Structure 1
Amino acid sequence: MNIRPVLLGLILLLLPFSAALQAREAQAPVPPRQAAIASANAYATDAGLEVLAQGGNAFDAAVAVSATLGLVEPESSGIGGGALMLLHLADGDRDVFVDARERAPLAATRDMYLDASGQVRPKSSIDGPLAAAIPGLPAGLAHLSEKYGRVPLSVSLAPAIRLARKGWVMNAKTAQVLPWRSEVLAQSPGARELFLRKGKPVEAGQVLKNPDYARTLERLARDGREGFYAGSLARRLVDGVRGAGGIWTLEDLAQYRAVEREPLRFSHRGFQLVTAPPPSSGGVALAEILNVLSGYDYPAMAQGERTHLVVEAMRRAYRDRAQFLGDPDFVDVPLARMMSLDFAAGLRASIHPHKATPSSLLPPVGPARERPDTTHFSIIDTEGNLAAVTQTVNLTFGNAFAVPGTGFVLNNEMDDFSAAPGVPNAFGLIGDEANEIAPGKRPLSSMTPTFLSDGERTAAIGTPGGSRIITMVLLGLMDLMDGGGAQAAADRPRYHHQYVPDAILAEPGALPGDVVAQLESMGHTVKIADSTWGNMQVVLWNRRSGEVEAGSDRRWKAVGKGALGAPAAIYR
């Protein structure tokens, strides 16, 4: 028997399998050579890197970053507020969304902020304990640590506890916004102790300590979720809130749980996006905008034409956001329809390629109410775990009320609900019912933590900015899709349209003069803002080389920090 033909046949049979194996090996990602963290404050970034060096993973680092931000950036977030957490688990290659959004107290009612004539009582949903929803961040941190972390809370919370006891230097960002709320903060003995000295706001460069915050975190570290939502701290919080006119109960705290939801997924230009589901409106709006734009070769267009189409897609997405979106545990959100390409095609058909569509010609709904003070951080570890976390207390310094002895302000997240469904607003528009107040309900959010991947590069991205969060993340994603790096995406100039008011708002220098003139000739109103906005944080992993990048928004100089950790071998 001549074996040469047999061997040749076997070789020919094996060649396809060999080629397939080589292709799979070529596509296998190179693990990140280093960890990367981008956050809005250098203290927080350093805390995350410290926990990674002690054996923690990205999720342990997220606990450290979050707790530290709540201490050193209290105007934007804290354990008196809530968070939306998007996670990627390298083990199993799966994505998880943790909803630690605040909940309305069980005694809340739809009309709780209206006077006898049906008008919203000024500041009633903004200042003081009646404005506070039940915090979700402490439960979110405990959930994150216990289910996905590698080290105990006593390790991941240690940097923030140490900093609270030893002291940190007040940064320029906090000092700049503190006077805006100092009069209201002064009315709360607990908040006054934290932020005022002899009746005046603390200034940049002063060293601050917060032993009460340290003790609160120590309870959380020792007892987990129960350390905040039960026992002596829970009683102190309820007594303090109710004594000042709020409606919290021990049952409100006992019932609160962080909830896992299925992230939203869609594709655009060959990229896969994983993003936040309701009660975030961000992921749905992102999908709607990008699905509308998928019908155009917009990357090849001149800036004016491209901006026009992007703005028209923004306009329609924000209109739908206001009408349809709310807490999915309370309202039927038409996700499949809003994210479908057929729905986008219908919206696209209403866009004139050379003329603006006045928002008044679209069906009217109420405007978004979310406030601009939030924070975001992004993390990747050397195993490829990712965390994109956006957290908030809503308005600057939340409701400007702190229960004495706790070390943190509470949120004013109740203002994110529609305070007066069915009552015409100042523009004569009707408020939406999907986001009306109800006991135990979570208010609609614009927070949009997102992952982007094309098989070669993977990014985690997010930003604060209230109703502008969605459009900032959109433009950052576009920059990454065009091949930009983490820092370029964080720094990209921004413009925004949210249906109402009917105007394009642009950062100084974001749109050249000739582009502004072109947009105005199409019927757009363009307003150049007096200042920039947002505070984007991006990490990027090149899956072919293993290189990582961290981009921290340069709009707040010398406050945020994007940094790389030690080489991967040190963590192993």
Structure 2
Amino acid sequence: MKFPLNGRVTLLALLLSASVAYAADSRPSVSPAATPSSRVLAQRPGHAGIASANFHATEAGLEVLAKGGNAFDAAIAVASTLSVVEPESSGIGGGFMAVLHRASDGHEIFIDARETAPLAVDTKDYLNADGTPNRDNALNGPLSAGIPGEPAGLVWLAAHYGKLPLKDSLAPAIRTARDGFEPDVRLINSIAEREKDIRRWPASVSKFLPGDKPPAAGQVWRDPDQARTLELLGEHGADGFYRGETAKKIVDAVRAAGGKWTAKDLESYQVKERTPITVDYHGYRVVTAPPASSGGVAVAQILNILSGFDLTKLDEAHRTHLVIEAMRRAFRDHNDYLGDPDFVKMPLDMLLSPYYAAGLRQTILLDRATPSSMLAASQGTDPGMHTTHFSVIDADGNIASITLTVNYVLGSTFVAQGTGVLLNDEMDDFALVPNKPNVYGLLGSAANAPAPGKRMLSSMTPSIVFGADRVAVIGSPGGSTIITQVLEGILAFIDGKDAAGIVAQKRFHHQYMPDRVDVEPGAFDPATAATLTQMGHTLKERNPWGFMNVVTWDLKSNKLDAASDPRRQSGLGRVQ
């Protein structure tokens, strides 16, 4: 569909008027954690709820709670166990982002344990001779890996927020790695999918292809090297990973395989604490991730745009249309502005301003899709479906919403000899070549260009939603669709759905480019799909989708509900 020239001029004028409105009054609707979410809640659940993508991990978290740990100790147990049983999605060779709420004083904080670029990073390593992106170096092997942040993040959680010694919280993961477990179908299939790349690295073959073939259903799989690495982490804290025996093995392995890491890269890694983004939406306050996550900014921007509409009075087609159009505009800004806040000055006051959102809202036609080419011209590819998320509320009301990743399925497929550590391939999350899509189809500018020690932009969007009577802890894997899945989960919670209803609902996604709506089969009835198509939206069915894990707290009944995505058979949400 093409708009006439006068329509394009009108759209440009409306966009300019948004900027003028922002300049007139730059007070943002989004702020550091404040009322009502940062207040000390008057009650405590008296019981706990955990939802993760693997039952071993959920049980590990509950075990640590039973030992006297709090939600943050349980988070360490869940994350480290996922490193053992779900390496296709996360691990100690990767990183995480977390939104925490401490019950005793209402303190809320964002923990940034995102990976960083090595000091010797060189963009030429990610280019072919003709200047096009070298996808192999960006996705496979040691050049694709950023410096891991998860081990430092687990140490930070224990030291600053937990109650138990770190080694106690790591104990379930160490036991599982040493004694073994039966891998689930998704892990088996992931290994089979990446077998060709795994075979390029001897230590990867040793870990993932026991007996020189992928593990079979029912087979007990052990990872003694990772058990030893986790033991050293528990005994010596950050020094147990970033210095000493483990660090030397990792650096030696990386450099032997053509990577550029040095001991200084590991020694200089630091966890960052940042102020969460919060946004008010129809009486609810959403506490979410700031940059170097792009997710919280995008979710806040979308909610600010939608706040000018009463979605409850619209039919499904028109409600969906407005959500899609808000997604489109948020992802356009995502591509242009966002990066590591320690390296890039971002116009967050503008992006998060209600007046900027009001201007964008005025560019939305109520019955017609806006071609993305009218906002700007670029191109992208399919969004990916990886990473993992878990949610925890303990008996005292402490809350952890944590999203972890190694980026693409099984990360770089490169395992450092003698450590059991599978390295991430997060370097692909940088704009290695400006305005060229990464593996998830996301575009980037100089704001997300690689630099020594810089954090690559992430879509991870761990969030907590506070209402007058209900609280939700929510997040999801899913590459670039993380942002829209979390958004739709938040809207479903506000609409009154319980945890099981939130994780099971059908999903849709628009990320500006490519200019289409990715739709889970069955998301729309035929009439709704026909109406959206008539409006100018291009619908494309796709699978799979991310595995969302949600815990909700009904403050009236003081009941917790925990639900794991039914799309993942091995997931588990449990209340104890």
Q: Is the pair's TM-score, using the shorter chain for normalization, greater than 0.5?
A: yes
CA distance in 1 between counterparts of 2:353 and 2:132 reads 38
Are 1:378 and 1:388, in contact at CA under 8 Å, matched by a contact in 2? yes
SS at match of 2:390: strand
Are 2:102 and 2:108, in contact at CA under 8 Å, matched by a contact in 1? yes
Query: Given residue 249 of structure 1, which amino acid in structure 2 is its aligned partner?
Result: T
Instruction: Give the one of 427, 442, 446 matched to 2:459.
Output: 446
Pairing 1:142-541 to 2, within 5 Å after superposition: 142-364=155-377, 367=380, 371-421=384-434, 431-529=444-542, 531-541=543-553
Are 1:82 and 1:101, in contact at CA under 8 Å, matched by a contact in 2? yes
User: Quick one: structure 1 residues 311 and 405, their matched pair in 2 at CA, closer, same or farther if it must change by over 3 Å?
Assistant: same
CA distance in 2 between counterparts of 1:332 and 1:367 reads 25
Deviations 1:262-282 (A, max 9, x none): 000110010011000000001
User: Quick one: structure 1 residues 505 and 423, their matched pair in 2 at CA, closer, same or farther if it must change by over 3 Å?
Assistant: closer
User: Quick one: structure 1 residues 483 and 423, their matched pair in 2 at CA, closer, same or farther if it must change by over 3 Å?
Assistant: closer
Are 2:389 and 2:404, in contact at CA under 8 Å, matched by a contact in 1? yes
Are 1:486 and 1:538, in contact at CA under 8 Å, matched by a contact in 2? yes
Deviations 1:377-398 (A, max 9, x none): 0000011000000000001100
Are 2:90 and 2:406, in contact at CA under 8 Å, matched by a contact in 1? yes
Query: Given residue 562 of structure 1, which amino acid in structure 2 is its aligned partner?
Result: G
- Following superposition, the deviation at residue 112 of structure 1 comes to 2.9
Deviations 1:432-459 (A, max 9, x none): 1111111111000000000001121111
- Following superposition, the deviation at residue 96 of structure 1 comes to 0.9
CA distance in 1 between counterparts of 2:354 and 2:526 reads 34
User: Quick one: structure 1 residues 105 and 493, their matched pair in 2 at CA, closer, same or farther if it must change by over 3 Å?
Assistant: same
Cα-Cα RMSD: 1.8
Indicate the residue corresponding to 2:575 in structure 1. 564
Deviations 1:232-284 (A, max 9, x none): 11111100000000010000000001110000011001001100000000100
Are 1:372 and 1:394, in contact at CA under 8 Å, matched by a contact in 2? no
- Following superposition, the deviation at residue 201 of structure 1 comes to 1.3
Of the structure 1 ranges 451-460 and 274-283, higher mean CA displacement relative to structure 2 is found in 451-460
- Following superposition, the deviation at residue 372 of structure 1 comes to 2.7
- Following superposition, the deviation at residue 544 of structure 1 comes to 2.5
CA distance in 1 between counterparts of 2:573 and 2:315 reads 32
User: Quick one: structure 1 residues 511 and 252, their matched pair in 2 at CA, closer, same or farther if it must change by over 3 Å?
Assistant: same
User: Quick one: structure 1 residues 404 and 198, their matched pair in 2 at CA, closer, same or farther if it must change by over 3 Å?
Assistant: same
Instruction: Normalising by structure 1, report the TM-score.
Output: 0.91
- Following superposition, the deviation at residue 363 of structure 1 comes to 2.0
Aligned identity (percent) is 50
- Asked if 1:79 corresponds to 2:92, the answer is yes
- Following superposition, the deviation at residue 546 of structure 1 comes to 1.6
- Following superposition, the deviation at residue 407 of structure 1 comes to 1.0
Are 2:174 and 2:230, in contact at CA under 8 Å, matched by a contact in 1? yes
- Following superposition, the deviation at residue 198 of structure 1 comes to 3.4
Indicate the residue corresponding to 2:73 in structure 1. 60
Are 2:335 and 2:443, in contact at CA under 8 Å, matched by a contact in 1? no
Bigger Rg, structure 1 or 2 = 1
Are 1:356 and 1:522, in contact at CA under 8 Å, matched by a contact in 2? yes
- Asked if 1:111 corresponds to 2:124, the answer is yes
SS at match of 2:446: coil
SS at match of 2:90: coil
Indicate the residue corresponding to 1:24 in structure 2. none
Are 1:366 and 1:432, in contact at CA under 8 Å, matched by a contact in 2? no
Query: Given residue 29 of structure 1, which amino acid in structure 2 is its aligned partner?
Result: A
- Following superposition, the deviation at residue 116 of structure 1 comes to 3.3
SS at match of 1:247: coil
Deviations 1:300-335 (A, max 9, x none): 210001111100000010111011101011111111
Are 1:370 and 1:415, in contact at CA under 8 Å, matched by a contact in 2? no
SS at match of 2:447: coil
Indicate the residue corresponding to 1:126 in structure 2. 139
Query: Given residue 376 of structure 1, which amino acid in structure 2 is its aligned partner?
Result: H
Of the structure 1 ranges 77-86 and 330-339, higher mean CA displacement relative to structure 2 is found in 330-339
- Following superposition, the deviation at residue 63 of structure 1 comes to 0.2
Indicate the residue corresponding to 1:544 in structure 2. 556
Are 1:125 and 1:414, in contact at CA under 8 Å, matched by a contact in 2? yes
Are 1:379 and 1:460, in contact at CA under 8 Å, matched by a contact in 2? yes
Query: Given residue 237 of structure 1, which amino acid in structure 2 is its aligned partner?
Result: I
Q: Which runs of 5+ in 2 are unaligned?
A: 1-39
Are 2:183 and 2:219, in contact at CA under 8 Å, matched by a contact in 1? yes
CA distance in 2 between counterparts of 1:368 and 1:49 reads 40
Runs of 4+ in 1 over 4 A off after TM superposition: 365-371, 422-426, 428-431
Deviations 1:57-82 (A, max 9, x none): 00000000000000000000000000
Instruction: Normalising by structure 2, report the TM-score.
Output: 0.91
Are 1:30 and 1:544, in contact at CA under 8 Å, matched by a contact in 2? no
Are 2:476 and 2:546, in contact at CA under 8 Å, matched by a contact in 1? yes
